[in-house]
Structure 1
Amino acid sequence: MEIITEGLHGIGRFFLHPLTYFFIMVAFFVGQARVKRERKYFHTRVFDFVLESKYLFFPGILIGIVLSIITFIAGVYIPIGIIALLSLITVLLSGPFTFRWLSPAYVIGFTMVIAFLLPEGLAAEGPLKTWLTDIQEAPLSSLVALLALLLLAEGYLIWKVGGKGTSPAILKSKRGFPIGAHFSQKLWGVPVLLLIPGDGLVKLFSWWPTLSLQGEAFSLFLVPFGIGFFQKVQGMLPSESIENTGKRVLALGIAVMLSVPAAFFFPITAVFIASIAILIREFISIQQKLKDENAPFFFSKREKGLVILGVIPKSPAEKMEMKVGEVIVKVNGVAVSNVNEFYHALQLNRAYCKLEVNDVNGEVRFVQRALYDGEHHELGVLFVQSHQDREPEAV
């Protein structure tokens, strides 16, 4: 009962942590910047500005529950000074318009390296002195276990959620031709209920309750970890590219998890493991970027048909189950190869449209739907357009 009561108190303290509100604010501004970019390219927004906020706490909360149970059973504990350092590094790595650096490999990895390198004897008073002591005496084995768990969470989230709600954009090739690309930018809040050793919290807040485990005092605190992800895709389907990245990060998490026992027996190896995790995570990002940039452009003008760059939510195109990456070959029986031809063919029958589409596997399917007032000129599909086409916009 003591553990349950303290756990409920710890969950309530989640709303006391400033990172919770920091993540909400960052997600809001990133969403605003995305909408501005979409309006620039297509004269309309593709997704609402709350898209980033939509993914902020789900499914991260469910994953956080699982991780909280695992860390509690495994006896993973993190001093309050380490939590303060983690929060500071999280803020520093949060760029103004990107979540690129908010991987657990960077946040926890840099925390461990700093804790290992921090010199002793630094002058400080009050809570700061206690926090510096916590950092210098950091439980490296617990930190590397937490790193492994959050890397597994990151890999799973990228694999299963990272490819959803990607934002289309029009870029320029080296030769100046328009090409399509997709940006995936996600920030997942993963709140983990952690054991805080000692009476550090009680010294700050006299009302803070504690529980006793094997004769030692602990408090429970729900820490809102932020797992960020950013990836640009122009050489293949966004879902496939991002899924590959997720699987590679998941493999990194498994590798770190397998090395956790070594850190418990030899804590110094934890810093080495964290450093390798930083390098491998960065290698994954760089290799994906180079591979994508050297691949043929996936979303580019084709001799036959129009490749779908984006589908606006709740539009007729979405109701017709049209997908990003599919190629529209014919509209109302007329072959099309540019946006103007598509638009004119659509006008041949203002009450009904029939599309011949090659799906992402190259198989032909037919899509048809009755059109209503206001829909004949705006199905909700986005294309990459040549210089001869009219200005980019939703069609």
Structure 2
Amino acid sequence: MDGFTAGQILRTLWPGLARLLVNPLLYAGAALVIWDVWRNARHERAFFGVRVTRRRAHLLLLAGLSLAAGCLMSVWNAVIGAGAAPGEVGVVTAAVLLLGLVRVRWLSPLYGAAVCAAASQVASAFGAGTARTFAAGTSGWHPGAGAPWAEALGTVWAAIAGFDAASWAGLLAGVMLCEALLLALFRTRWLRPVYVLSRRGRAIGAFAIQLAFVAPVWIPMAGGVTGIASLPYVAGQGFTALPVLIGFGGVFAGLSTRRVLTVVCLRDLAVAVVLAAGAFAAMQAGPVWANAALWVGALGAEAVRLWVDRAEGASDPQYAPALDGVRVLATLPGSLARAMGLVPGEVITHVNQVPVHTGYDLHFAFEQNPAYAKLRVVDRRGEARLVGKPVYDGERVKLGLLLVPEDPNQPCYRPIPSGLLQTVGLRLAAGDRGAQVPMDEASGSLTS
């Protein structure tokens, strides 16, 4: 931005920072993200006896990526000229928080903006003078001129009536693109092995997708920015800011997490295209197109989420116990199991030609020959292979092999719907100790 000093740019950004720091959504979102990571990491010892997630490193990486995502979305807003008034940011924040009290996954700004777009249409139907009537205290209730609550109501009403759906559609197109990019780049970084309760009441293996960001997004003040040609003048008109929650979470025992995240990425890209098209059409033919795009985007995102949950419920579990050995759920980084190339879902049937059927058998077989480990492994296609590695002093304690639960009453999570921050609602449960586990479940044919 030639012609602007660092002091001028800082003074331009400061109002946005001030508004960001007083926005309750920033603190609510950050608290939920921290609680989600910290609390669920504590449960790993109940599952595996070891801690898989390094909580501090995990949270620091989340913080860094949140800032990077906020910068990307802020640049997007400046480039396309997606401006917003502070009042609009306030009503979107209020809508997001109210929706979040109903469903945590609705903390996404996509849903809040869709509600504000609908409210704007209702407010417009009452006429532009209604807000001024409330503010002046001359409404039917006649609270008296200058009444604080009347002025506040008038301010909110004016913000709703003046809601610029086209700008918010363009802004949220950038949000959805950024979410798709983060999910695509880090789709394996945020996977956690867990135990989950099947529909027949026993513990089975699963993977949790636990990815949520609170990104601070700077938005140019509404009034004059029209796109790339006006980018140098953004610093001259000031910014407001909004904390944006993006990400995806859920627990999957049947569907491949790679497939789930691919579907979610494609959904985000499709929603971004719809929002961008609605914003462009609104500039040509009126705001009704942007309002429609916001609602189509929100309903489409919810429909895809529902489809993912139904597909998960109809899928056979990938990590149920095996009758002919022990099934691998995951391997820890830097461990002996990882060095051997063991893959989740494979079944270990022999260690040094000794048959194994339980985790105790596995460790006992390792102890019998401390110098070398030769494993017979059956992959998901039923093909057998041999893997081996010299075992030096101390390496046996670094086996790093996480197995599918053998005890049907092992502590585990109850199934949950998928969506933004859904893993914050995970609850520990124990299997039904009075139920008999069917043989088809033990063989891996049970649907979770």
TM-score normalised by the chain length of structure 1: 0.81
Q: Which has the higher contact order (CA 8 A, sep 6+)?
A: 2
Indicate the residue corresponding to 2:51 in structure 1.
Answer: 45
Indicate the residue corresponding to 2:426 in structure 1.
Answer: none
Q: RMSD between aligned alpha carbons? A: 3.5
Match of 1:309, as an amino acid? L
The yes-or-no answer on 1:111 pairing with 2:116 is yes
C-alpha contact 1:112 1:271 (8 A) present in aligned 2: yes
Indicate the residue corresponding to 2:211 in structure 1.
Answer: 186
Indicate the residue corresponding to 1:61 in structure 2.
Answer: 67
SS of corresponding position for 1:135: helix
Q: Give the CA deviation at 1:234.
A: 0.9
C-alpha contact 1:353 1:369 (8 A) present in aligned 2: yes
TM-score normalised by the chain length of structure 2: 0.72
Residues in 2 aligned to 1:212 and 1:239: alpha-carbon distance in whole angstroms:
41
Q: Structure 1 pair 268/95, CA: closer, same or farther in 2 (3 Å)? A: same
The yes-or-no answer on 1:147 pairing with 2:172 is yes
Match of 2:106, as an amino acid? W
The one of 324, 348, 354 aligned to 1:334: 354
Residues in 2 aligned to 1:111 and 1:236: alpha-carbon distance in whole angstroms:
35
SS of corresponding position for 2:29: helix
1:132-159 CA-partner distances (Å, limit 9, x unpaired): 4223201111011112221122222223
Residues in 2 aligned to 1:390 and 1:147: alpha-carbon distance in whole angstroms:
43
Q: Structure 1 pair 47/95, CA: closer, same or farther in 2 (3 Å)? A: farther
Moved more, 285-294 or 116-125: 116-125
Name the one with the larger helix percent. Answer: 2
Indicate the residue corresponding to 1:376 in structure 2.
Answer: 396
The one of 234, 237, 244 aligned to 2:263: 244
How many corresponding residue pairs?
A: 377
C-alpha contact 1:180 1:234 (8 A) present in aligned 2: yes
The one of 56, 79, 87 aligned to 2:93: 87
Percent identity between matched residues is: 23
Q: Structure 1 pair 188/57, CA: closer, same or farther in 2 (3 Å)? A: same
Q: Give the CA deviation at 1:74.
A: 1.9
SS of corresponding position for 2:248: strand
C-alpha contact 1:167 1:183 (8 A) present in aligned 2: yes
The one of 161, 185, 200 aligned to 1:175: 200
C-alpha contact 2:278 2:292 (8 A) present in aligned 1: no
Matches within 5 A, 1:286-325: 286-318=306-338, 320=340, 322-325=342-345
Match of 1:286, as an amino acid? L
Match of 2:191, as an amino acid? T
Q: Structure 1 pair 10/343, CA: closer, same or farther in 2 (3 Å)? A: farther
SS of corresponding position for 2:278: helix
Gaps of 5+ in 2: 136-148, 224-230, 413-448
Which structure is larger by alpha-carbon Rg, 1 or 2?
A: 2
1:142-200 CA-partner distances (Å, limit 9, x unpaired): 011112221122222223324423222222323333311222122123332211237xx
SS of corresponding position for 1:366: strand
1:333-375 CA-partner distances (Å, limit 9, x unpaired): 43434323222222222344333445678774625253433x5
Match of 1:348, as an amino acid? Q
The one of 16, 20, 29 aligned to 2:35: 29
